[in-house]
Amino acid sequence: MKYQSNNFFIERIKAQNLAKRFGTPIYCYSYEKLKKNIIKFINNFKSFNPLVCFSVKANSNVNLLREIKKFNFGADVVSVGEMMKVLKAGFNPRKIVFSGVGKTSEELSYAINKNILLINIESEEELIEVEKIAKKKRKVVDIGIRLNPNTDAKTLKKISTGKKENKFGVTEKAFFNLLNYSKKSKYLNLKCLSVHIGSQITSYKPYEKTLGIIKKIIHKSNYKFQYIDLGGGMGITYDNEKKLNYKKYNNSIKNFLKKNKTKIIFEPGRSIIGDTGILISKVIYIKKTQNKDFIILDSGMNDLIRPALYGSKHKIIPLKRISNSSNKNYEFVGPICESTDKFLNIKKFQKLKKNDLIAICDVGAYGMSLSSNYNVRAKPIEILIKGSKVSIIKKRQRLNDII
């Protein structure tokens, strides 16, 4: 994705032409970028050949899932809906892991019927529920237990999951109780210790610390886990965040594996899909006030909620660059009736006018998947570009359907 003589292209397609053809807003993804991210991820850890389960919550478009599956990926799901989507996309159930603190008995029952690889248990009550269902079905169910390692992932507070105040996983003490319970159960086969400490992590150190904790637990329990699921969380560069040092993370895991022979599972979402997508939008109005100029876009927080929810910064760029344009300071906002419906303040942006087109960048992860119909607004169309091929991978929602 780059400019060619001042016009922004996704692979061989001029972004402005997409807006003309499909209207705006558009979620547009690059297949080439997706493929590159996947191959890079696999290469980073190739010495121990992990099972990589794409975290579907980051992006659950069935057509994108189909593409991801072709690289032998598994899937990390958190609801029966996500499970149905990955099964529809053709994922092997033996490569599906099911996480989440509130799996209902219907969801557990569905997962057990599908013989998925692992149900990652997050509480004592859940373990008992799984055993109850398994007993009824006369089946032995493969499970993992998610440990809460009480590790600070040094990321945004709102997306940290591995500290003791977070609802996720179980404490070390509870972990041992669940482990002992599982060992005695005829219906539970404990195969995995899982963790996931947070998202948008840019330092390998919290991961290294977590590996140290896992090492101690394995030693103390003297239990042979077939899998260690290290979750996802690998950060990307949105603004000026530093890059995660994959080499160091890989080395820590390699060290860990020297004494602990086990298969590693990863559950990456953002690092696979985050920078593959842009949100193309149109300027509806420019509203000049005494203090600032608002650029009112035709996408709002219902299309992309990350800035409103976490204060995240997504770059905004013009689809057509004007080289000798005068520059202005702008506040980019959406049309939604909320003051948090604001994307970014930018200093010295090229002068914009009504109907100009822009792209909000790096929205492939937690963009469309977190979108809503708030203010009764239809969800955007999703498009995948492969070279010069343009495919609609999800139609624009029709207002009539939501009304």
The contact set with ligand LLP (CB under 6 A) reads 55, 57-58, 76, 99, 159, 161, 196, 199-200, 231-234, 267-271, 306, 310, 365-366
For the bound state, the minimum distance from the C-beta of residue 308 to ligand LLP, rounded and expressed in Å, comes to 11
Q: What is the CA radius of gyration of the chain?
A: 23
Q: Which two tokens stand for residue 144?
A: 């993992």
* Annotated catalytic residue 53: no
For the bound state, the minimum distance from the C-beta of residue 75 to ligand LLP, rounded and expressed in Å, comes to 11
For the bound state, the minimum distance from the C-beta of residue 170 to ligand LLP, rounded and expressed in Å, comes to 14
For the bound state, the minimum distance from the C-beta of residue 55 to ligand LLP, rounded and expressed in Å, comes to 3
> What whole-number distance in Å separates Cα of residue 12 and Cα of residue 334?
29
Beta-bridge mates of residue 79: none
Identity of the residue, 233 or 318, whose beta carbon is nearer to ligand LLP in the bound complex: 233
> What whole-number distance in Å separates Cα of residue 129 and Cα of residue 151?
28
CA–chain centroid gap for 348, Å, is: 32
> Do the beta carbons of residue 201 and residue 216 sit within 8 Å?
no
Beta-bridge mates of residue 384: 29, 391
Identity of the residue, 352 or 363, whose beta carbon is nearer to ligand LLP in the bound complex: 363
For the bound state, the minimum distance from the C-beta of residue 298 to ligand LLP, rounded and expressed in Å, comes to 22
> Do the beta carbons of residue 102 and residue 130 sit within 8 Å?
no
> What whole-number distance in Å separates Cα of residue 276 and Cα of residue 64?
11
Write phi, then psi, for 354 (nearest 5 degrees): -45, 140
For the bound state, the minimum distance from the C-beta of residue 274 to ligand LLP, rounded and expressed in Å, comes to 8
Identity of the residue, 56 or 358, whose beta carbon is nearer to ligand LLP in the bound complex: 56
Q: What is the DSSP letter of 85?
A: H
- Amino acid identity, position 338: E
* Active-site residue identified among 28, 53, 192, 337: 337
Q: Which residues contact 331 (CB under 8 A, 6 or more apart)?
A: 292, 293, 294, 295, 342, 344, 345
Identity of the residue, 50 or 232, whose beta carbon is nearer to ligand LLP in the bound complex: 232
Identity of the residue, 62 or 159, whose beta carbon is nearer to ligand LLP in the bound complex: 159
- Amino acid identity, position 355: N
Q: What is the DSSP string of 125-176?
A: HHHHHHHHHHHHHT--EEEEEEB-------S-GGGB-SSTTSSSSB-HHHHH
Identity of the residue, 270 or 377, whose beta carbon is nearer to ligand LLP in the bound complex: 270
> What whole-number distance in Å separates Cα of residue 161 and Cα of residue 165?
9
For the bound state, the minimum distance from the C-beta of residue 65 to ligand LLP, rounded and expressed in Å, comes to 15
Identity of the residue, 25 or 233, whose beta carbon is nearer to ligand LLP in the bound complex: 233
For the bound state, the minimum distance from the C-beta of residue 156 to ligand LLP, rounded and expressed in Å, comes to 7
The length of the chain is 403
Q: Which residues contact 240 (CB under 8 A, 6 or more apart)?
A: none
Q: Which two tokens stand for residue 225?
A: 């886990």
Residue for token pair 């191959």: 39
- The three-state secondary structure class of 327 is strand
Identity of the residue, 278 or 357, whose beta carbon is nearer to ligand LLP in the bound complex: 278
Q: Which two tokens stand for residue 19?
A: 């807006």
Residues involved in catalysis: 337
